[in-house]
Amino acid sequence: MAKKKEEIGTQSPTCEWRSRGDTQGGNNTNKIYRHKGACRWSDTRTECYKQKDGGWSDISRNVLIGNSGESAKFHLRYFEIAAGGFSSLEKHRHEHVVICIKGKGKVLTGEKSHMINYLDTVYIAPNTVHQLSNPYDRPFGFFCIVNAARDKPKLIKK
């Protein structure tokens, strides 16, 4: 006996997310970080790339999600590398995602170098030696999404 269409399940797929219980904790206040232009956002500040000097040059960061006690399992940061600048050559156990939103740049993953442009997205797997750089004449800006709980990167010497 054939089932009627409505018995089979004709509900449309949904993008709704349902909580698996109480995820409250930290500073879970809804907030909008307004874009102020030039890849800067309200209620954030431009910070040094890292606290100690090392093998990097001409790079800054803004933390959009992760510096205010949110309980998110990820942090969202914006980095900008000036012409000729670069991040540290490093590896770590955590993964991350890089999304180019300004200019273009290069990403080294393992022994391969790739140019990335506006909205190109890069997944960097755990324990991959990597570095982002800007050999071009305009700033290279990108979002970087990382695990909130993560290990400290190990710097790689060239």
Q: Is 144 a catalytic residue?
A: yes
Which is catalytic among the residues 15, 39, 100, 144? 144
Residue 129 contacts residue 92 (beta carbons within 8 Å): no
Residues annotated as part of the active site? 144
